Amino acid sequence: MDDDITIKENISKLKEWIAESENIVFFGGAGVSTESGIPDFRSVDGLYNQKWSYPPETILSHSFFEANPAEYYRFHREKLVIEGVKPNVTHLRLAELEQEGKLKAVVTQNIDGLHQAAGSKNVLELHGSILRAYCSKCGKPASADLINYGTDLPRCECGGVLRPDIVLYEEPLDESIMRKSINAIRNADIMIVGGTSLNVYPAAGLINYYRGSKLVLINRSETPYDSYADLTIHTNLGKVFSAI
């Protein structure tokens, strides 16, 4: 984290840029939702090791889901579905900026639907959403309640196993979402990147499409991309978004 004076100066700078812009794109990672109480599933706690026989990246893979859907759903319902979460100040301020005509798109790696819950309309969900489900056999959409709650293996009328509309490991990203994200980033005059250490594909790649001169990185710790940024703010997202 930076010292308070530096943080304050950087936030003022960002505020000036936002005041002059009508074409902002926000790109967010897990850190956007952790401030709503959604843990990053990659964070390994002691409890985790006792309860699961596989790392999260294995359980959340296409081949694991196919081979062992019951164990997948035990993990999904316990680690991905968090009761009572609400959008935080970052989600809410981003939704306002969109309503004010300043923000054109939110590109997110999160699968929790909190940007839409805050009122954002143009949300590009790179990894899908656990608030949508469909049949892995016939493709028919189904209620997300069936996959997120209960203890049974959720099934379609056709007998196929239901699955969340998220991108599992080993699966390709949705091409149309990628295309829309690239377009939004290419045309943006401000790109704000927050809550990601930029290590997870495709985050780093998407930044390369930005052509402007106002790339803003907000993250508690330094990232390998800090030197590419025109402004870096090392603090909590909530602190920044409650001040802009």
For the annotated catalytic residues, the residue numbers are 127
- Give the DSSP letter string of 78-126: III--TT----HHHHHHHHHHHTT-EEEEEE---S-HHHHHT-S-EEET
Cβ neighbors of 156 (< 8 A, separation 6 or more) are 135, 137, 138, 140, 142, 162
Tokens standing for residue 162: 């239901």
Shortest Cβ 140–Zn ion spacing (Å): 5
Options 133, 156, 168, 206; binder of Zn ion; rule CB under 5 A: 156
| Residue 191 sits in the site that holds Zn ion (CB under 5 A) | no
List binders of Zn ion among 26-65 (CB under 5 A): none
User: Among 207, 222, 200, which Cα is nearest to 40's?
Assistant: 200
Shortest Cβ 135–Zn ion spacing (Å): 3
Site size for Zn ion (CB under 5 A): 7
Closer residue to Zn ion in complex, CB, 127/163? 163
**Amino acid letter for position 41:** F
User: What backbone phi and psi angles, to 5 degrees, belong to 85?
Assistant: -75, 145
Shortest Cβ 71–Zn ion spacing (Å): 21
Closer residue to Zn ion in complex, CB, 89/161? 161
| Residue 202 sits in the site that holds Zn ion (CB under 5 A) | no
| Residue 160 sits in the site that holds Zn ion (CB under 5 A) | yes
User: What backbone phi and psi angles, to 5 degrees, belong to 226?
Assistant: -55, -35
**Amino acid letter for position 138:** C
Closer residue to Zn ion in complex, CB, 3/157? 157
Closer residue to Zn ion in complex, CB, 161/203? 161
Closer residue to Zn ion in complex, CB, 122/136? 136
Q: Compute the distance between CA of residue 43 and CA of residue 71 in angstroms, rounded to an integer.
A: 19
User: Among 228, 227, 223, which Cα is nearest to 194's?
Assistant: 223
Shortest Cβ 160–Zn ion spacing (Å): 4
Interface with Zn ion by CB under 5 A: which range of 108-116, 158-166, 172-180, 211-219?
Answer: 158-166
Cβ neighbors of 240 (< 8 A, separation 6 or more) are 11, 14, 90, 194, 218, 233
**Amino acid letter for position 58:** T
Interface with Zn ion by CB under 5 A: which range of 7-15, 112-120, 150-158, 177-185?
Answer: 150-158
Options 70, 158, 179, 226; binder of Zn ion; rule CB under 5 A: 158
List binders of Zn ion among 103-142 (CB under 5 A): 135, 137-138, 140
Closer residue to Zn ion in complex, CB, 32/156? 156
Residues interacting with Zn ion, by CB under 5 A? 135, 137-138, 140, 156, 158, 160
